[in-house]
Structure formats: structure tokens, C-alpha cells
Structure 1
């Protein structure tokens, strides 16, 4: 750690390598593609209906309850303690998977896995506190890519061990336990950040760097609004002015919360950001729900106790297909302002179609193919949505907006879980659930199809209005075109 401090040009290398190692081993869990066959098999002997209706919903509820407190705590304690907490939660989860027995043990397991999911924010936010802004894009790419590589490698390894070496699911969980223990060790050696984005902003006499272009919500004029990073750095500068101007910790916390509210209000006042965030939240809720229960559907279509299953190979292909779709999204040049919501409608319809296919088919291979289409379509769109939301936001606003979007997605997912899955609600079997999930994505596709038709028609009418002004004098034509652009950019 000392050597990386003494060399500013390489100060990002050590924490990045350490964090990537943590990310790799925390995702190198070959047991995950086969968790349902393991729970339903002789090791745990839990019925599919119990897993569906009584065990898996606990993850959704605990994730929702923990997300906001952990999000606030993550910045307040400066990331590293929360990453260590995630490592501990991983270990407890897999200890329970290996040694736990009975319904209660599995429900406690799901609570700790909800903790794992809630603390994931620290993994992606940590790097912004120890790396200079010019390395943000590069390091973020490394951290995200390594998790995809690890998950794909784990899925391939799991399939090879099960199909070729006839390794039991129990030993896949033992391997996963060893891997998350190694990840925990790497978390201990992460450098402790001296600053964070909100509560411990680094004092500076200079305004921090800002992405090129205007903030997304500044498309419409805002009055008496100070950006969050400016507010926090103003507080930091005030601390150098003497004891009379030093705000109390409670006041700083309150002002940070007030500034969060003001920034979120400003961000979501942009219609472009609002509708992309709306799709992001609803689709992510549906995607997480499908991901949670798809293995149960596969086991329902082809029982693992009497069939040869290829969950690991399918998960690896789906992850690779999602990564390829995400890469493709970055290379395609499209006028997203005009055609973005049409793309949301088309690919949401593809998601709906794949879910209907998975519901109606009796062939496990067709069911696998439907999942590949579903995950690739979602990964393509979520990459585009993430870029559209974040392109003109500062790092602070990026964290806030995506944190709130994730929370909204979890609220929606919890409503779906309570109504459809939980025994306190309808408690539907998994095959019927996928019919509902397909209908859910159909509604999303229909809403954004109507929005896209409206946007395209408005743009077309705006062009025709521009042509109708060709007989005016130049100054009148310029004013008319300016007014038309103002109207069309509101959508």
C-alpha cells in the first residue's frame, strides 16, 4: 500500500487489482447454476413448491429492507467495511448451503444472500474514492468485466465437473465456499479510502471535474439549485475557514440528505432520464424475478433427479450472449432520442415472447433457448439504458439515480413476489408464474410502443412545420425552427 501511495501515476493499480481479485473470487461460484438441483436433491430434500413459495421470497424482502440503509452506510463508512461485510455474508451464505439443514436454515441463508446483494453497491463505488477521475472508465470496465469472466468460467467449470467427472452438487458448494473465503481475504487488503462521494468529500480549492456537456436535468432551467458535488465541496472548503464556519456533523448529514432530494428532483425532471429510468426499474424487477425462479422452471420441465441437465452450459452461454449484446450496444450508432423508446418496446416484446415460449413449451432445450433470448435482450437494453441515464450525470448523481432506480425495482419486485409467489398471496406454481412474467413484459412493451409512436409522430410534425416556414423571412424562420426544436426535445 505504501508503494502505491508514493507513485501517483500508478496509485490506481494496487486497489484495482485487489478489487478485481475480490470480484473474481466472489463470482467464481460453480454451485450457482445447480443450486435448485442441490436443494431439491438428496442433500437437502426440499420440495420445489417450498423453495418457490417459502425460501426464495426471503431474498427479495431482505434485499429491499437492507438496500437503503446499506446505501447510506456505504458512503458514510467509506466503502471498505461494507465490502468486508459482503465477504462475511458470502461466507455465511455458503456455510449454510454446505452444512445447514431444514427450512429455517435456508431462510436465514436467503437473508444473508440479500445482504450480499445489498452490499454489492460498495464494490462498484469503492473505486471512485481511490482512483483519479481520468482512470474511472478504464477501472470500471475492469471491475465489471472480471465478474462476467468469473461467472462464465464458474458455469463452464460446473458443467464440466458434473457432466464429465460426475462431481456431486455438494462439492460444487464446497468449491464455492473456498472461493468466497479467498475473496474475503482480498477485501482485507484493500486500501482504506480517505474520502467518499458525499459524507467525506475531499477538501479542495478547485471545482471537481465534471463530464462534458450539461447535466441531464439542466435541459430545463432550474432556479436556486446547486449541484451536489458543489455543495459538498463548499462544505469542505468552509472547514478551512475556521471554527466558526465549521458545520457540525449532524448539520452536514442533514444538508447531504437535503441535497440528495434536490438533486433527485432535478434529475427526474428531465423527461428523457425519467422514462429511461422507468423502463430500467420495471424491467430490472422482472429480470431479477425471472433469474430467481428460472432454475425452478427448468427442474419442473426436466427433473434433475431423472434427467441430464445443462444448467451450467446455459448460464455460461447466456452470460456470454449478454456480454456480446452489451458490447454491440456500445458500437451501434442510433438516434436514441428519437428511436430509443421504440427499441425499448421491441426488445421488451422479445423478452415477453421468450417468457411465453418458456411457459408453453414442454421441451427443455426450447426452454433453454428462450432464456438465452431473454437474457441477451435484457443485457442489450440495460447497457443502452445505463448509458442514456448516466451520459450527462456527474459521478455523484450517477450513484444517486441508479441507487433510487434499484430501490424502485426492488419495491416492484417485492409487490410481484408478495402477490404471485408468496404463500401469503396467490402462491402460484412456477409454470404459471412465467405466464404472468410474460404478460408483465408485454405491458411494458405496449406502454413504450405507444410512447415511441407519439415521439416519432411529434418529430415528423415538427419537421413539416419547419418546411411550412420556408416562405417566411430568415429571422422568422430561425425563430420558428428554434421553437420547434424546443418542443421536440421535451420528449
Structure 2
């Protein structure tokens, strides 16, 4: 039925749009160096921004495992809450230590992006994967581009102070926080929870198609009703998950094509993060925002829209 994929996809798109609509983001460095925060360039570049990079790196694998174990939805709520904490602190706090804590929460929010991009595959049929992937990935980039454009228009045309952009961004984060609560809770995940619904309901074996799909996914029950060996089964279940992760890793990267694509993706993502993190200080060095009208929002809008077209070409 259409509603089986439409309802969660619409909710997830709303969440993706509002959580990525951040009018302050193109002007973050100017905001931190300006009179509102009065931080130095050395503090921002050397002491504050690296906290996001390393927090993201450290939290990425735990976030992946927690996403699968908790079945996506709780991690989406955690991500939405982390965005609220991040932008509430941007508006309120002043010290370098508080800004470093802020960057940790932003690292947590970005590390849990995997929950957003994997949730939809646990609640829709495989026939809709390509469609929902295109919608979800495109809407995040659309939200980012509209946020950047809105920020630039407010700064250039309405002379809105950057502090107000932070409040608007926080408001969008609060709207985004509401949507994950209404998402259906997935009954299965890739590694920790995989329930054969036909077998559970009818007591019969799965269809050939399902059995063939299940061979690619592990089935590790962690909620056994055998009270005598529950702890042992949980420990063995976790060990089995880790073993299967390792087996899948070896099997997947035995493909030279997949290995090349993954290396390209990892390097390009690292390069993109480095550019995003440090291009604003470079712009600030060339044309200080205290002396010139800056157009960071337009640049990031165009950059994101070009990325959107590339994503749609890949997914469709």
C-alpha cells in the first residue's frame, strides 16, 4: 500500500529539511569572532573547531552500533536533541570550554546521521528503496541550501544581527525535534534485531525470496525468554554480531570496485569536512566581516544545490 512507505518518508523528509535548515551556519566564524562572542582567531581555529572533527571520529562507530541495536528511532531523537543543545549553546554561551562542549554535541549529531540515512530501509519495501533514498537525500540538501540562502538574505537585505540567525536556527532545530517521535518504530535492524514476521505470525518458514534476503542479514536474538541463559546468550549474541560484522567487512571489501568506491568516498568526505570547517576562517582572513559585506550564504547555497543535482543523478 502507498501509505506503508509514504508516511515515514514524509516525516523523515520534514525532519531532514528542518534539521539541515541552518541560517547561521555560513556565518558561524564571523559570529564567533564578532562582538557577540569576541573570540580570537586562534581560539576558534585551534581550540574549538577541532573538537567537532575528533568528536565525530570517536563517536562514529559507537553511533553505528547503537543505531542498529536501538533500531534507528531513538538515535534520530538523540540527534535532534543534540542539534537543540548545540544551537542553544551557540546563542547563550561565551567561554572557549563551553564552545568545545558545544562542538562535542555537534559531533554527536553528525555521527548519528547514519540513523537518518538507514532508518527508512527498515520500514519500507525494497521496491521503494531508490525512491525514498532520492527523497531523503535531496531534502537534506534542499534544507541546507534554503537555510544558507535565508541567512544571506536576512543579513544582506534586512541587516539582521547574526545573533538572531542563531535563534532562527535553534527554532528550526526545535521543529525538527518534534517529527521523529511520530515515526513508526522498526521491528528489525540489520545486525542485532531481525525478525521474520511471517515465521512469527504463521509459524511457517519464510518464502524463498525472504530466506535468500535473510542469508545476507544476521539473525541474533537478544531478547530470549530463556531466563537461565539470558546473560550468556546476550554476550554470545554480541560476539556473534561482531564476528558477522568482521565477516561482512572481509566479504564486502574483497570487491575491488567497492573498495575503490569506499576509499574515494572516505577521502572525499574528509576533504569536504576540512573545507567546510576551515574555509570560513580563510574568507574571514581575506575579507573581514567587520569591514566588508560578506556573501558566504550565497556561496554555500550554490555549492549545496550543485551537490543536490549530483545526488539525484546518483540515486535516480
TM-score over 0.5 for the alignment? Answer: yes
Distance 1:64 1:195 in 2: 27
Structure 1 residues 210 and 40: CA distance shift in structure 2, 3 A: farther
Deviation at 1:72, TM superposition (A): 0.3
Deviation at 1:153, TM superposition (A): 0.8
Q: What is aligned with 1:208?
A: 210
Q: What is aligned with 1:175?
A: 168
Indicate if the aligned counterparts of 2:141 and 2:307 stay in contact, CA closer than 8 A: no
Indicate if the aligned counterparts of 2:137 and 2:311 stay in contact, CA closer than 8 A: no
Q: What is aligned with 1:31?
A: 24
Indicate if the aligned counterparts of 2:188 and 2:194 stay in contact, CA closer than 8 A: yes
Equivalences for residues 266-285 of structure 1 within 5 A: 266-285=251-270
Deviation at 1:286, TM superposition (A): 1.8
Distance 1:255 1:283 in 2: 32
Deviation at 1:103, TM superposition (A): 0.5
Of residues 3, 8, 15, the one that matches 2:8 is 15
Deviation at 1:257, TM superposition (A): 1.3
1:149 and 2:151 matched? no
Distance 2:85 2:212 in 1: 40
For the aligned residues, what is the CA RMSD? 2.5
Equivalences for residues 407-486 of structure 1 within 5 A: none
Question: After superposition, what is the alpha-carbon deviation per residue over 1:235-258, rounded to whole angstroms, capped at 9, x for unaligned?
Answer: 67xx8xx999x9923322221211
How many residues matched? 304
Structure 1 residues 17 and 54: CA distance shift in structure 2, 3 A: same
Distance 2:43 2:104 in 1: 16
Q: Give structure 2 stretches of 5+ with no counterpart.
A: 200-205
State which structure, 1 or 2, has the greater radius of gyration over its C-alpha atoms: 1
- Name the TM-score, length of structure 2 as normaliser: 0.89
Deviation at 1:193, TM superposition (A): 1.4
4+ residue runs of structure 1 moved beyond 6 angstroms? none
Structure 1 residues 209 and 325: CA distance shift in structure 2, 3 A: farther
**Quick one: higher RCO (CA 8 Å, sep 6+), 1 or 2?**
2
Indicate if the aligned counterparts of 1:159 and 1:313 stay in contact, CA closer than 8 A: yes
Distance 2:315 2:181 in 1: 35
Structure 1 residues 182 and 272: CA distance shift in structure 2, 3 A: same
Q: Give structure 1 stretches of 5+ with no counterpart.
A: 1-7, 212-225, 332-491
Indicate if the aligned counterparts of 2:16 and 2:140 stay in contact, CA closer than 8 A: yes
Of residues 284, 289, 303, the one that matches 2:274 is 289
Distance 2:28 2:211 in 1: 45
Q: What is aligned with 1:114?
A: 107
Question: After superposition, what is the alpha-carbon deviation per residue over 1:402-448, rounded to whole angstroms, capped at 9, x for unaligned?
Answer: xxxxxxxxxxxxxxxxxxxxxxxxxxxxxxxxxxxxxxxxxxxxxxx
Deviation at 1:126, TM superposition (A): 0.9
Distance 1:329 1:199 in 2: 30
Distance 2:271 2:111 in 1: 18
Distance 1:9 1:124 in 2: 20
Indicate if the aligned counterparts of 2:133 and 2:315 stay in contact, CA closer than 8 A: no
Distance 1:295 1:278 in 2: 27
Structure 1 residues 144 and 330: CA distance shift in structure 2, 3 A: closer
Distance 1:153 1:88 in 2: 22
- Name the TM-score, length of structure 1 as normaliser: 0.58
